[in-house]
């Protein structure tokens, strides 16, 4: 992939930084790429920029997020206009820009889930880290030192994303298993589900958890249909692994991709590197391994 892929907004957990590494493990081309756990669709955007697929399906259970993505792709000028109105009003808010964030958040949680409000909350919240309460309300706090991405800075990225995806992308907000039913041979399904520490429980980073057992069972169904897939799932930090490995009878290949220094470990005075696991379905691995950069120090192959 030549150059950096555009992105709409900072989003914790996004695979934007790892995308160039992940793309090396994808087929050079496919008829359709499907992201059942899209987040802000960083991998879809990167794959489109690299010409990896003819069409795309973007899905996430977070309906307001998907609605924002759809408007960003299909009506970017309108979204920019509406976002500028919300963003600029913080400077005129009587109680200040921090109170303005909470006012927008309150309106959002009360049902004003416009794409502009969603985008503003993402752009202003701490470290782009989305958090939801038990009732499903957005409850992250604002970054009090900043005002969020300005419309002028956002515009070129938003327009670039629209140019890449407009006219060849479908959007949905359904359970990931519904996307598996749609998938067919010739597609590539890229998955970045909630990590296992939060898979079987309600977690405030996600609208819903994902059962490990149900997820594995669904993967067998993809295998039976001959659908290619890749999964970003857990990994290790400082030599310590976390998360249960996928069953060996799926015959995936597991690779460890360097995600850089652990922010939490650095904060505690330790220098530890985080590796994220990437599982590649057995039908893909033999076709792509010859394309992987063997000299690239941030690639490390893990054997079963």
Q: What is the pLDDT of residues 5-23, one digit of tens each?
A: 898 987 766 788 899 999 9
Q: Which of 97-106, 175-184, 287-296 has the lowest mean pLDDT?
A: 287-296
Look at residue 52 in the predicted model and tell me its pLDDT: 95
Look at residue 266 in the predicted model and tell me its pLDDT: 44
Q: What number of H helices and E strands is found in the chain?
A: 11, 9
The CATH number fitting domain 69-156, selected from 3.20.20.70, 1.10.287.1080, 3.90.1150.10, 1.10.1020.10: 1.10.1020.10
Percent of the chain with pLDDT strictly greater than 90: 62
Enumerate the domain spans of the chain.
Answer: 19-62+190-302, 69-156
Per-residue CA distances from 211 to 117, 176, 229, 250 (Å): 31, 12, 19, 17
Q: What is the pLDDT of residues 131-161, one digit of tens each?
A: 888 788 999 999 999 999 999 999 999 999 9
CA-based end-to-end distance of the chain: 29
**168 pLDDT exceeds 80?**
yes
Closest alpha carbon to 171 in 303, 279, 239, 75? 75
- Which is higher by pLDDT, 52 or 299? 52
For the segment 97-109, the average pLDDT, to the nearest whole number, is 97
In sequence order, the 6+-apart residues with CB closer than 8 A to the CB of 177 are 214, 218
SS3 57: strand
Look at residue 292 in the predicted model and tell me its pLDDT: 61
CATH topology identical between 19-62+190-302 and 69-156? no
Kindly indicate the confidence band of residue 296, based on its pLDDT and cuts at 50, 70 and 90: very low
Look at residue 289 in the predicted model and tell me its pLDDT: 63
CATH architecture of 19-62+190-302: 3-Layer(aba) Sandwich (3.40)
Q: What is the pLDDT of residues 68-89, one digit of tens each?
A: 999 999 999 999 999 999 999 9
């Amino acid at each position: 992939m030549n150059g950096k892929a555009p992105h709409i907004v900072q989003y914790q957990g996004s695979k934007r930084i790892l995308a160039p590494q992940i793309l090396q493990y994808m087929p050079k081309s496919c008829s359709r790429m499907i992201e059942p756990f899209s987040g802000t669709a960083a991998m879809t955007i990167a794959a489109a920029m690299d010409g990896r697929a003819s069409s795309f399906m973007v899905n996430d259970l977070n309906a307001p997020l998907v609605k924002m993505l759809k408007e960003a792709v299909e009506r970017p000028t309108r979204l920019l206009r509406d976002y500028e109105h919300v963003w600029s009003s913080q400077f005129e808010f009587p109680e200040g820009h921090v109170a303005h964030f909470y006012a927008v958040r309150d309106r959002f949680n009360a049902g004003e889930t416009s794409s502009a409000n969603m985008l503003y909350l993402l752009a202003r919240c701490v470290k782009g880290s989305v958090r939801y309460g038990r009732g499903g309300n957005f409850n992250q706090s604002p970054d009090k030192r900043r005002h969020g991405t300005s419309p002028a800075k956002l515009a070129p990225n938003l327009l670039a994303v629209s140019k890449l995806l407009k006219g060849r992308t479908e959007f949905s907000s359904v359970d990931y298993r519904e996307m598996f039913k749609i998938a067919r041979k010739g597609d590539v399904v890229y998955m970045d589900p909630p990590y296992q520490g939060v898979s079987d429980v309600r977690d405030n980073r996600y609208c819903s958890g994902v059962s490990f057992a149900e997820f594995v069972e669904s993967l067998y169904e993809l295998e039976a249909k001959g659908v290619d897939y890749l999964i970003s799932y857990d990994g290790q930090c400082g030599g310590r692994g976390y998360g249960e490995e996928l069953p060996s009878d799926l015959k995936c290949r597991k690779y460890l991709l360097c995600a850089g220094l652990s922010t939490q470990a650095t904060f505690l005075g330790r220098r530890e590197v985080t590796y994220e696991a990437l599982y590649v379905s057995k039908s893909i691995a033999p076709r792509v391994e010859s394309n992987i950069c063997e000299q690239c120090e941030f690639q490390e192959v893990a054997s079963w």
